[in-house]
A and B are shown apart, each in its own frame.
Chain A
Amino acid sequence: MPKTRIALPDSIDHLSILDEHGKLDAALEPAIDDSLLVRLHRTMLLARRFDERLLSLQRQGRIGTFPPIAGQEAAHLGAVAALRGSDWVVPAFREMAADLWRGRPMESIIIYNNGFNEGSRIPDERNDMPIAVPVGSQILHAVGIAWAMKYRGKDDVAMTFFGDGATSQGDFHEGLNFAGVFEVPVVFVCQNNQWAISIPRSKQTRSQTLAQKAIAYGIPGIQVDGNDILAVFAAAQEAVARARAGKGATLIECVTYRMAVHTTADDPKRYRADAEVEEWRRRDPIARFQSYLTGKGLLSAEAVKAEEEAIAADIQAAVDRAEQQMKTLGDPLLMFEHAYAGMPDYLKEQRADFIRFMAAAPKEDTHA
């Protein structure tokens, strides 16, 4: 009997509740309060319009490089909507709708994208981590936070985000493995947007799904239609409940699409066909959610119009506030702050030398 078969989970669920034609699977429809549905719609629309505004600000040279989120609103907003305030979010860098949902003011995003560190300060009342640029590296932090939550006997949950490219990183695998071994309350949310800059999902891994990678680490994995906010919410709600109940981690793969550029420094025409983008445009997460809400009597064409107007005004007010605030952020000495709890002597010396130079140098040499 040298060769026997070991039974493993050999399938992964794919969840779709509200399809691209707006067709609802009523049996799977999650019970969501009307007020929550309306707030989710409002945040999705706000995020879409704010993203567009950021892009135009960038093209005008009024902010720096940033990663647009268009097309992925449901994938990350639906997930964080299943959390409560005391839970932690450990983001990558393409979760702006989630960020707004968790209470980050738009002006802070503008300020950050204008190269001011002040924009990445998390308000004291929120537990979330600032964005993490190196792909996949933040996943382990969520595992550590979840470990600490469990150690402290809390029933809070850590939720972390990353893309399809991150699933090739060692830290992704180490994170899932540690979470499995320590059975900690963490939810891994992969926004599979099909592209890691120019590398398509098919070149990232031979695996049929990304969700199946959970099987190797002994935790549940599920693939959902990431443009279906009901499906994302339902999957996240289940994963969060499991984590809260002390039953460990879950991997959720949200199948979505990056409609825009990787960052504003990227030109997707070099590596992907417009036809593919157009195909995904038909699967837009906001359009189908609007038809769902309209069907439920929670939205109307007039209401959307009013919402759009209110959002435009909110965005303009945030841009104005950001530009006002940035006028007071010019002090270059602030760059010496927050290196350590206390400033070491040699850094005080370097700072003093900088002050001396700035005072003595001709104006054009001080960037003033």
Chain B
Amino acid sequence: MPKMTMVQALNLALRQEMEKDDRVIVLGEDVGVDGGVFRVTDGLIERFGEQRVVDTPLAESGIAGMSIGMAVYGLRPVCEMQFDGFSYYTMHQIEAHASRLRWRSQGRYHVPMVLRAPYGGGVRALEHHSESREAFWAHIPGLKMVIPSGPRNSRALLVSAIRDPDPVIFYEPKAVYRAFREEVPEEEETLPIGRSQRVREGRDLTLIAYGAMMRPTLAAADELKKTHGAEADVIDLLTISPLDDSLLVESARKTGRVAVVHEAPRSFGPGAEVVARLVEKAFYHLEAPVARVTGYDIVIPLFSREKYYLPTVARIVDAARNLLAAQ
């Protein structure tokens, strides 16, 4: 199997889906001739032409609104936001229409579109280029919110997102884009949307994370084993909404000690929903209060200080130690 970065894996997903299905259209700012500012759509315009790889005017709401019309008509638009910080221009179109047209039309129409956006910090970027606002989208009924964590699952999830009959917000952890390579099979591979995955088996505590936070979380699990002999059950959410709590609840009942990790601000973040589900379904199994290792409730600092804002291996280990020590 070839080893790929996440950027290459996402490109593979787009290329293969476009080969298979002429309903799939890629559109956005600089996605054509330039191949996208992160090069995720590199080479697609040469392969599929301007008809299917569409450089649009610079207007995010326009891109999202046009995608809705395309999707209602029967196409499968995959639109790109250059950065998550600019994706909020689309929020009105996504909230008012993409997420509701199935409901509004009582099933007559649906909106099978994907809105891709790089999100998150850790790449020393400008203001508006490092946010992690997945909770905005996850709060919208009718919408799906997916965040892969590595090259292989990013490819499989993007294929599933493109084929999904409902609108999917697909946040790509830009800190992972070129951070490491994984083997990604050439043949088709999908992952179900709305299912989390256990990526490491353990019985002493549960660490729940997603996206770019999977790497520090897995590193923290290594550290905990080394320094405390503690085995962590590590769960990758993969889909933020609709949130699958079956694995979370099962793991919490087993370990009784849970930390949830994300770089989004803490209050009303995805971690809050995870905690609420565990309180509802695993309360009597908990041995310690569920810990949240998250961004702080502030604007993510410019890059000279972002390392203090983002959860690190040390912060996760610190929270885990407290969990393990709780009587």
Query: What is the interface of chain A, defined by CB distance below 8 A to chain B?
Result: 88, 90, 117-118, 120-122, 124, 129-130, 132-134, 137-149, 151, 158, 170-171, 174-175, 177-178, 181-182, 337-341, 344-347
Contacts and interface: CB of A to CB of B under 8 A. Distances in A.
A130 B70 contact: no
Given A120-B105, A141-B65, A338-B106, A148 B97 contact: no
Interface stretch (B71-79, B227-235, B253-261, B290-298): B71-79
Interface stretch (B51-59, B213-221, B310-318): B51-59
A121 B105 CA distance: 5
A199 B324 CA distance: 63
Interface of A, secondary structure class, is: helix
B107 A140 contact: no
Given A140-B65, A171-B65, A178-B66, A129 B72 contact: yes
A231 to B, nearest CB: 28
A122 B104 CA distance: 10
B61 A148 contact: no
From B68, B142, B165, name the one whose CB has the most chain A CB atoms within 10 angstroms. Answer: B68
B104 A130 contact: yes
Contacts of A341: 102, 110, 164-166
Interface stretch (B119-127, B150-158, B243-251, B300-308): B243-251
Contact of A175 (B62, B104, B106): B62
A137 B96 CA distance: 8
B93 interface: yes
B289 interface: no
B48 interface: no
A158 B70 CA distance: 12
A163 to B, nearest CB: 17
B109 interface: yes
A80 to B, nearest CB: 18
A288 to B, nearest CB: 36
A117 B66 CA distance: 25
28 contacts: A121-B106, A129-B105, A130-B105, A132-B96, A133-B96, A134-B96, A137-B96, A138-B97, A139-B65, A140-B64, A140-B65, A140-B66, A140-B68, A140-B69, A141-B69, A143-B65, A143-B66, A143-B69, A144-B65, A149-B73, A170-B59, A175-B62, A177-B59, A341-B164, A341-B166, A344-B242, A345-B242, A345-B246
Contacts of B57: 174, 177-178, 181
A46 to B, nearest CB: 25
B102 A137 contact: no
Interface residues of B, number: 47
B85 interface: no
A145 B93 contact: no
A175 B246 CA distance: 43
Given A134-B92, A177-B57, A147 B66 contact: yes
Contacts of B144: 340
Given A175-B62, A338-B102, A148 B243 contact: no
A159 B229 CA distance: 67
A120 B242 contact: no
A121 B108 contact: yes
Contacts of B77: 144
B36 interface: no
The 4 nearest A-B residue pairs measured at CB: A144-B69, A140-B65, A174-B62, A344-B242
A345 B110 CA distance: 20
